[in-house]
Structure formats: C-alpha cells, structure tokens
C-alpha cells in the first residue's frame, strides 16, 4: 500500500472519513478531515503512530472542496509550509476565495426557488450551513496549487496520476500511484466511489451543470480502468471497484426510472415534490441533497428529451433556458412516456454516449 489509512470521525456530516499518509522520501497527506477538535486529535494521533507531526507534512493532496476532506489543510500548511494541491475547479473554494463562495451561495439560493423549496425548509438548511461556517469547519486559509486531469504530482518518491472525476463536485479527483498504473492498480477515490452509500449528485455542488451525466462518465471511467482496489474518502476499502461502480450506476438508473415514474403518477412536479416522493421528509444537509439529486435527474431527463418544463401562460422562458424558473414543474414528454414504458427492468438507461430522445 502506498498510503497508510487513518480513520477519522465525522460528527458534522454523516460517515467516518479517511485520511491517507505516505511517509516515504516525502511526507504526503491525502485529505485531512474536518476542522473540529475531535477530528484534529484523531488525525494527530494517527500521524503520531507513524512518527509524524503536522509540522512534518511536505504536501497535502485534496480530493475535493468539502470541509470533511479539507478542513485541517490550512492549519497543517501553517505549521509545516506544505504545498496543498487540488483541482482547479475546487481550488478557489478551498482557498476561501470570497467571490467563489459568494457565487456558490447565490447559485444555491437561485436553485432553491427553481426547485420549489418551501420557506421553512430553506430556513432550516441555511441555519445548518451557517452553523457550520460559524464553527469554523473549513478551517484556516489555504494557499492552493491548482492541478488538472492528467497531471502527475511528484513529491519525493511519490508519483500520483490525477484523474478528474466530477459529479459529486466539479473538481473532485481520484489519484493513482504511478508505479501502480494499469490493470491491477489501486486508486484513491475521495467521494467518487464509496463502499456503503452513493455520493450525492446535484446538491453537493450546485455549480456543476449536467452533474448526473458527468458522474455517469466518471463511473464508466472507473469501470473501464479495472482498478484492483479503491481507497475511498469514507469508510472501508473497496476490493472490487469496477463492480461497485456498476452497482452505483445501476442505482442511478433505478432512481431515474423512479423520477420518471413519479412524473407519470402525479403529473407535472418541481424538484422538491419529486424529492419528497423519493426520500420523504428531510432535515439538515439532506434538505440540500434530496432535491438536488432529484433536480440532477430531472435535468438529465430534460437534456435527453424525456422531460420538459411545464409552460405557464405567464412564462416568457424558453424550455431550454437554464435561468431560475421559480419552481416550474417538469412533465414527461411523449418520448419520455414511450421510454418509460420500455423500461421493463425498472431501470432507465444512463450513458454519456446515449443519443437524445427524438
């Protein structure tokens, strides 16, 4: 194994986190955990087992911008002078760029209207997000070195191939130790591939248009590459990554079928209404993730011609305009109804290579 896995608790978001330590010619940390005292102590203890302190870290490699993966990076960098690497799409958020965060938050609020999110749910979600910010879960400021797909990170004796894997976030990356490239290699997947639940798509990063299609392509890449083992951002290692990626792809095909079936059953509906049918009542971060995932599926079905925006007489908005449409409901098209009737196995085919429905 190129890295030692350090298991971390996560009381802010669900699911135990992993950080990974490489202690060769250079000391490299892949992800850091959220910036709360308990996680800091767990990370320090895990590093100490290998004779490492924060000040010894030469480089930090981050899979994506979420606080449970990046929160302690600034503190470690301040102590060690470590170089921090992250994909260029997520780097401004990790660095704490005010404009990048303002744009993200503005997009969220526009989408809350578009999804049809009720005021009470919105207030609960915003209070949850603001509490996290006030608790400092994103940690100290970070100087980030941007990376992109296909780059090779070279730190001491460590060589990592950068594999862009968008879907959960715009800049999520997997990392492949170069000495292990090809069939039989291991891959460090962050939240692109998880062992016990499926990464949220649509709500986890509202900046990414076509989030579901991007994630389907990520899953297809992980299947095609035939990795022997995946080391994920949460929980235990995955011994058959391609099989797990196929399972998650099938899960999204089943979800797409359920989304289309919901529209057939209840008629035109916005993302919030479809989310309620899929997931029931939601709280905390799930108020963002539930309708976000419903929205990602609805927009994918819309992009392929299976779904359209239900026009209202006062609308002056073209059905393909992606501006905020204040909770406009989606409806199945005739082509969508035909496709739904053809889904005899309860799964809606998803593929980036699939042609638009005529």
What are the residue boundaries of the structural domains of the chain, listed by start? 4-95+140-247
pTM equals 0.93
Q: Are 172 and 165 in contact (CB under 8 A)?
A: yes
> Given this model, what pLDDT does residue 278 score?
96
> Given this model, what pLDDT does residue 352 score?
55
Classify domain 4-95+140-247 at the CATH topology level: Metallo-beta-lactamase; Chain A (3.60.15)
Question: 109-125 burial, b if ≥16 CB within 10 A, otherwise e?
Answer: eebbebbbbeeebbeeb
Beta carbons within 10 angstroms of residue 158's beta carbon: 24
* 328/52 Cα distance (integer angstroms): 54
Q: Are 28 and 48 in contact (CB under 8 A)?
A: no
Q: Are 260 and 205 in contact (CB under 8 A)?
A: no
Q: Which parts of the chain have pLDDT scores under 70?
A: 1, 11-15, 180-184, 312-327, 352-358
> Given this model, what pLDDT does residue 179 score?
72
**Phi then psi for 197, rounded to 5 degrees?**
-145, 170
Question: What is the bridge-based pairing of β-strands 59-61 and 27-30?
Answer: parallel
**Phi then psi for 127, rounded to 5 degrees?**
-65, -40
> Given this model, what pLDDT does residue 226 score?
93
Smallest CA-to-CA distance from 205 within 164, 166, 169 is with 169
> Given this model, what pLDDT does residue 311 score?
74
> Given this model, what pLDDT does residue 12 score?
64
Question: What is the bridge-based pairing of β-strands 4-8 and 144-147?
Answer: unpaired
* 203/137 Cα distance (integer angstroms): 19
């Amino acid at each position: 194994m190129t890295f030692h896995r350090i298991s971390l608790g996560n009381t802010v978001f669900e699911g135990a986190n992993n950080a990974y330590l490489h202690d060769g010619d250079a000391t490299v940390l892949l992800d850091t955990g959220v910036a709360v005292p308990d996680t800091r102590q767990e990370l320090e203890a895990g590093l100490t087992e290998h004779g490492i302190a924060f000040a010894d870290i030469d480089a930090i490699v981050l899979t994506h911008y979420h606080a449970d993966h990046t929160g302690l990076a600034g503190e470690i960098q301040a102590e060690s002078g470590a170089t921090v690497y992250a994909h260029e799409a997520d780097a401004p958020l990790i660095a704490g760029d005010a404009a990048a965060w303002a744009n993200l938050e503005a997009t969220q609020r526009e989408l809350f209207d578009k999804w049809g999110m009720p005021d009470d749910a919105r207030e609960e979600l915003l209070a949850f997000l603001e509490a996290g910010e006030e608790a400092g879960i994103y940690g100290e400021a970070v100087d980030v070195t941007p990376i992109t797909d296909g780059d090779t990170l070279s730190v001491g004796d460590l060589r990592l191939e950068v594999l862009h894997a968008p879907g959960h976030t715009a800049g999520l990356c997997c990392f492949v130790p170069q000495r292990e490239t090809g069939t039989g290699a291991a891959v460090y997947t962050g939240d692109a591939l998880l062992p016990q639940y499926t990464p949220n798509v649509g709500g986890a990063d509202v900046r990414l248009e076509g989030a579901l299609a991007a994630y389907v392509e990520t899953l297809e890449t992980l299947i095609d590459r035939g990795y022997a083992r995946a080391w994920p951002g949460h929980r235990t290692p995955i011994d058959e990554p391609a099989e797990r990626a196929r399972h998650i792809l099938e899960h999204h095909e089943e979800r797409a079928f359920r989304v289309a079936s919901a529209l057939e059953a209840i008629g035109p509906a916005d993302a919030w209404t479809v989310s309620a049918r899929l997931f029931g009542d939601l709280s905390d971060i799930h108020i963002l993730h539930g309708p976000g995932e419903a929205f990602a599926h609805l927009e994918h079905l819309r992009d392929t011609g299976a779904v359209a925006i239900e026009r209202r007489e006062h609308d002056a908005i073209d059905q393909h305009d992606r501006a905020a449409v204040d909770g406009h409901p989606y409806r199945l098209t005739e082509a969508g109804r035909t496709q739904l009737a053809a889904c005899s196995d309860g799964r809606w085919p998803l593929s980036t290579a699939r042609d638009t429905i005529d």
